[in-house]
Amino acid sequence: MSVNAPTREITVRYFAWLREKTGISEERVMVPDSIATVADLVELLRARGPEFDAAFAHASAVRAAIDHAHAKPQASIAQAREVAFFPPVTGG
């Protein structure tokens, strides 16, 4: 008998070229509790298919926000309701 790992649902948003590469702007993702950080979530998303792998191919160039607050790759997503991914913002 298999036991399902505990999961939680998170809204994931994609902006700019991440949206273009994934083909979607927003989705609800079932995330296993073992996915603890933004970096873990990126790896989970990359494994979903070539469009996601391409979107996150240069993960160091991708920025994240957890519930509208900028977050580093090692930031915990344990209590996150939303994680957004976007390219670095430039300009003046």
Backbone angles phi, psi at 29, to 5 degrees: -120, 130
For residues 12-35, average pLDDT: 96
For residues 49-71, average pLDDT: 95
Can you read off the two tokens belonging to residue 5? 């790992």
Res. 4: pLDDT tops 70: no
Task: Give me the sign of the Cα torsion angle 22, 66, 28, 38.
Answer: positive
Comparing 91 with 84, the larger pLDDT belongs to 84
Distance separating alpha carbons of residues 77 and 34, to the nearest angstrom: 11
Determine whether domain 8-86 maps to CATH 3.10.20.30. Answer: yes
Q: What percent of the chain shows pLDDT beyond 70?
A: 91
